[in-house]
Amino acid sequence: MPAAQQIAHLNRTAVYWRNETARLKVEVMRDKLEGRQQHLEPQQAAKDAAEEEKTRVEWYR
């Protein structure tokens, strides 16, 4: 396999795993958030949801 093809393949692989990792992190945060919402008062759950969303937005920057 020529070097250029290998580099292209490695770049695609790296992008795939970066996206997969980000998707899993969001899924874990969503699970944590949903788990917390079941046990908290609605007002506290909404506050936590806003905080999680802020953290998620900062994480993507």
pLDDT (tens, 9 = 90+) of the chain, 61 residues, equals 799 999 999 999 999 999 999 999 998 888 888 776 555 566 776 777 777 777 766 655 5
CA neighbor of 32 nearest in space, from 54, 52, 17, 50: 52
Domain-wise residue ranges, the chain: 3-60
Residue 57 confidence (pLDDT): 65
Question: What string of H, E and C letters represents the secondary structure of the chain?
Answer: CCHHHHHHHHHHHHHHHHHHHHHHHHHHHHHHHHHHHHHCCHHHHHHHHHHHHHHHHHHHC
Residue 15 confidence (pLDDT): 92
Residue 30 confidence (pLDDT): 87
Predicted model pTM: 0.47
Torsion sign, CA atoms 5, 8, 10, 16:
negative
Residue 13 confidence (pLDDT): 93
